[in-house]
Structure 1
Amino acid sequence: MTKQIAMKTPPVVSQQAWEAAREELLVKEKATLRAKDALAAERRRMPWMDVDKAYVFEGPNGRVSLLDLFEGRRQLIVYRAFFEPGVHGWPDHACRGCSLGADQVGHLAHLNARNTTLAYASRAPQADIVRLKKRMGWEMPWYTITDSFDKDFGVDEWHGHNVFIRDGDRVFRTYFINSRGDEAMGTVWSYLDATPLGRQEIWEDSPEGYPQTPLYSWWNWHDNYDAAPDKKWAEVSAAGEAAFRDKQD
C-alpha cells in the first residue's frame, strides 16, 4: 500500500480572522473580475476577418453551409470536437477532453435569447454523432466537417472555439479560443464574453450602437423565452440593477 504524504494545510483560525483573510483576497478577486471585463470590452473591438470561402457541413437533414449553422441568429460559436476514427474512444466515445467540455454546456435557450448559436463540429458521420449525442444526453447542434474548415480555422490537430458574426449573408470571424481557454467554456457568460456583441447589457463598455438591454431584465426560465414579459420580474430585475450599480460606484 502506497504511503500517503501528509498535507501541509493552512492554519486554523477564528471566524474573525477567517473573514479578514477572505476580505483581503476578495480585493484581488474583484480586481481580476474588472480586468476580465476590460478584456471582454477589448475583444468586442477586435477587427473582423471576412470568411469568403463556402464551407459545407453535413447536418441531420443534409448538407448545410456555415451561414446555415447560425440558425438565423446574429452570432455563432463553433467548437471543434474530436470524434472520428483514430480518436481514443472511437466509436463509442468522443475525445475525453471534448466530452468533458460537452458535459459542461448549459441550456442553450439562454444563449439563443442573446441572438447567439452554439454548434459542435467533428469529422464523424452524422449517424455516429446522433448515436453519441443520445448516449451522452447532449443537446447542442452537431455537424460533420466535410472540407478544410478545421484546418483553415486552427482546429485540425487540437480543439478550439471559433466565433463568428454575420451581416446579412456575409460571415466574419471575430475571435478564437483554444488550449486552457476552452476549460472555462460552458456557461452562457463564458460564451457571450467571447462574442463581438458581448452580454448585450447596458453596463458593458461596448462600441456605439451595439445592442444592449438592462441588466437582469432578459433573464428567464429556459422554457419561457417565448412568453410575454413578466411585470413582476421587471420590478425585481430593476431593483437588482439598481443594487448592482450601487456596488459599481
Structure 2
Amino acid sequence: MDNYQNPQVVSRSEWLSARRQLLLHEKALTHQRDELSKARRALPWVRVEQDYRFEGPEGRLNLAELFAGRSQLLVYHFMFGEDWEEGCPGCSFLADHFDGANLHLAHHDVSLVAVSRAPYAQFQAFRQRMGWKFPWVSSHASSFNQDFGVGGKGSDQYNYAPYSGEETELPGLSVFYRDADGMLFHTYSSFARGLDILVGTYNFLDLMPKGRNEEGTMDWVRHHDRYEDVAQPPHCCHE
C-alpha cells in the first residue's frame, strides 16, 4: 500500500528528523548521478561513415546539417509510422518538453531535433495541432532508425537486448558530435526507461505524495489536447 493511503502522522520535530535522514540519501544519489554522467561522457565514440539523408521544411539535408552550426546534436527518435495520422502519445509527452529546453540548448552548443520514419508531409498537420516549434525531420527511406536501434519489428535488438516484439516503431535518443574538421561521431544512445531523463513532468510527480501514480509507464498520458476525452485510450504503438 502506498504511503499516501496510510500515512504516518508525526510531530514537526519527528518529521524534520526523518527529512534529514532522507536528505542523506538524496545527496548520495546526486553524487551517484554525477558519476554516472561522467561515465556517460567517457564512453568511446564511433565515427559516422554513412551519408544519412533527411527531409525537412527546406527539402533534403544530411546529418551534419541537423547540427545547425553547433558541435553537439541530440536526436529524439519520435514514433510516427508511415501510415499514422498522429504521433505516439508517449513520444508526444516527451516532445511537449522540447521547446522550452531548446530555448536554452541552442545557446549552449546543442541542437535538439526529432526524427521520424514517416514522410515529412505526413506529420505536419499533427505538428501544427500540437503547436510545437522544435526541428522535426523525416528519415523516410533511410536506414537511420534501424542503424541506431529503433528499427522495431524485424530488428533483433532493442535497448541492448534481444528483441522479438511486434511494434513497428520504437522510441529512443541518440547523441552525436561534430568536430572542427566536420567529422561526425555517435557518442551515446538510450531507450525505454532511459528516456525518463527527458521528461520534466516526471520530476515534478516524483516529489508528490502519489508519485507517478501509474500502473504502466505513461498509461495515463494523452496528447495534450485530449485530456478531456478519457473514453479514448492511448495507443503508443500502431499495427
Question: What TM-score do you get using the length of structure 1 for normalisation?
Answer: 0.68
2:138 is matched with 144
Structure 2: distance between partners of 1:14 and 1:8 = 19
Structure 1: distance between partners of 2:147 and 2:119 = 20
1:23 is matched with 20
Q: Is the contact between residue 129 and residue 142 of structure 1 (CA under 8 Å) also seen in structure 2?
A: no
Identical positions, percent:
42
Structure 2: distance between partners of 1:53 and 1:186 = 31
Aligned-pair CA distance for 1:8 = 4.5
Aligned: 1:123 with 2:136: no
Structure 2: distance between partners of 1:133 and 1:47 = 35
- Deviation per CA, 1:31-76: give whole Å up to 9, x if none: 0010000111111111110000000000110000000000010000
Amino acid at match of 1:99: S
Aligned-pair CA distance for 1:125 = 2.1
Structure 2: distance between partners of 1:48 and 1:20 = 46
Over aligned residue pairs, what C-alpha RMSD do you find? 1.7
Aligned: 1:111 with 2:105: yes
Aligned: 1:41 with 2:38: yes
1:160 is matched with 172
2:63 is matched with 66
Structure 1: distance between partners of 2:177 and 2:64 = 10
Aligned: 1:133 with 2:145: no
Structure 1: distance between partners of 2:123 and 2:136 = 7
Structure 2: distance between partners of 1:186 and 1:73 = 24
Larger Rg: 1
SS at match of 1:161: strand
SS at match of 1:11: coil
Amino acid at match of 2:96: D
1:237 is matched with none
Q: Is the contact between residue 83 and residue 94 of structure 1 (CA under 8 Å) also seen in structure 2?
A: yes
Aligned: 1:50 with 2:44: no
Structure 1 gap ranges (5+): 1-6, 191-249
